[in-house]
Amino acid sequence: MGALVHHPRYHQELNPQPQILVLDAGGQYCHLIARKVRDLGVYAEVRPSETPAAELSSARGIIISGGPSSVYDSASPTVDPAIFARGQAVLGICYGQQLMAHLLGGNVQKGEKGEFGLATLDLAATTDALFAGLGGRQQVWMSHRDLVVGLPEGFSAVGRTETCPVAAITAPLRRLYGVQFHPEVVHTTHGKELLRNFVYGVSRCERDWDARHRAPAIEQEIRECAAGRNVFFFVSGGVDSAVAFTLSTRALGEGRVRGVYVDTGLMREGETDFVRRMAGISIECAQQQFLNALAGVTDPEQKRHIIGEEFVRFQQRVIESRVLRDEHWILGQGTIYPDTIESGGSAKAAVIKTHHNRVAGIQKLIEAGRILEPLKSFYKDEVREVGRELGLPSELLDRHPFPGPGLAIRCLCSNFDAPLRRTPEGWVIPVHSVGVQGDSRSYAPVLGIEGLDHEHATELINRLSDVNRVIGLVAGHVPLAEMQVRASSLEPARLARLRAADAAVRRLSHEAGFDRRVWQFPVVLIPVGTAKSPDSVVLRPIDSADGMTAQSVPMEPALLDRITRELLTHQGVAALFYDLTHKPPATIEWE
């Protein structure tokens, strides 16, 4: 995935020179930084971290992103040290702070425990322009294990958290700054103000950018990419593919765009009926093809690859059945930016999980120039704004995100039987889930605890290195001590069990208005239970703006009680759990 700057829709009538350059050290939020700067009215571009200082000289400010590496490893990303001696404003974020300290003579080492998710920053009173108006205690978002433990000459430490003694550093006379936390994510309370201070107060930028009214520019890009060819879309009924399909139809005309919804047998209850009401979409049934291909598969990455490749095979058959010659069609997708980032789409980004629209077959089509992805540099909230600009109904735009692989990645499997392991902190459940810790992928067991204490769960996940997710037991037919993991796969009975649980949770949440308080609400089935009731259900309500970070959202006791009483009547369900983990360290979806 190239930098955002290569997409013509970001350039208005007079192409502005980037006043802020973001150096990509492989962080999951690297491009989010550039977007947040543009949101402030200043044009920003992303460049590789090793870009020579001379090529960055026109920028008024430079931001070094976070990343999954450790600065003391010889192969880790670096920057040209000359950027620190040219008088330009430089801000290092997370790995960027560590790299700045390391290159200027400070000391960075691995901490005794990580710090993932919400933390409280104590910011000293300072006259530094970066922190103007921001002193005192405040909420920030962390994702790190390494720490700056020794400052370079001329720097001062002005911020700390309980886990991180050096959470903000400054050398104002040299216009060099670093923060261990992530100001670019919405969960850092004053992050926008800090970035505004850097852009306008420290870097002295001038307003030159307005990102509103993007649809016409995207449509022009679609026409250029299609270059006279027809576009074939697989639509899911979700926001991303619907917006991408609508943009393409407006740009090219209905005669050149065809949309197909594939019922894979992995859809939620009522999903296919919802899509039937969408104009211009035909329905194709392929349940047996997908379920046969997934039979016996337990590994989440393998699931995602299989689903992606089956989509490519099915697409080829559908294309051929419509007698479209190869050179006259390209594949359209509703890919958005978090999909490419988590799939390792940035030069140094770690692969968190391979999305079905980034598997090998799709990559071949990308390399052949036969893919149209008009939203691939957008985040979910931006996609919704484009949809509103297009006049799409709120019934569609306000739907919770639903993953392309469908229920397959919410129905966890195991290839072995195993007991739960008792520890002083709780029960280690040998069902693995995907996480993102320090911008790297983790795949680790889950910790089950009694009760629903979010703060205690955050403390546990920061302290323990062998788990990446904490779930609280809401209620069950038997105690945790009597449960075990059971060998299981994507059997039709388990998918039906998950589909019924998901439908019940969605119905009750909607009746209570809770679905309007959360950004997404995955319902997950895990193979934990008894011989009579082999599965348990996990609730995963989260709040987010863009999918890159997320907070676990508590539920009102009355609603949770209604959900619990209903789900525990479902055949085969042993217990109900609540996912208490933020992103990071856990991804939104379990797989």
Task: Give the integer Cα–Cα distance in Å for 332 and 99.
Answer: 39
**483 is written with which tokens?**
């449960």
Among 170, 159, 161, residue whose Cα is nearest residue 201:
170
Catalytic residue chosen out of the listed positions 30, 94, 205, 411: 94
Catalytic residue chosen out of the listed positions 144, 182, 187, 356: 182
Which class for 426: exposed (0-12), middle (13-18), buried (19 or more C-beta within 10 A)? buried
CA distances from 2 to 47, 48, 69, 344 (A): 9, 10, 20, 12
Q: DSSP letters along 218-251, please?
A: HHHHHHHHHTT-EEEEE--SSHHHHHHHHHHHHH
- Is-catalytic flag, 182? yes
**569 is written with which tokens?**
């009547």
Q: DSSP letters along 384-414, please?
A: HHHHHHHT--HHHHTSPP--TTGGGGTB--B
Task: Give the integer Cα–Cα distance in Å for 102 and 243.
Answer: 44
Q: Do the strands 230-234 and 61-64 form a parallel or antiparallel pair, or are they unpaired? A: unpaired
Question: How crowded is residue 276: how many other Cβ atoms within 10 Å of its Cβ?
Answer: 12
- Is-catalytic flag, 432? no
CA distances from 297 to 99, 264, 423, 430 (A): 41, 16, 30, 17
Catalytic residue chosen out of the listed positions 45, 115, 164, 184: 184
- Is-catalytic flag, 184? yes
Task: Give the integer Cα–Cα distance in Å for 437 and 349.
Answer: 12
CA angle 101, 107, 108 (to 5 degrees): 85
Helices (H), 426-491: 454-463
174 Cβ contact list (under 8 Å, min separation 6): 84, 87, 154
Element spanning 58, H or E: none
CA angle 265, 269, 274 (to 5 degrees): 100
Task: Give the integer Cα–Cα distance in Å for 354 and 331.
Answer: 19
Catalytic residue annotation: 94, 182, 184
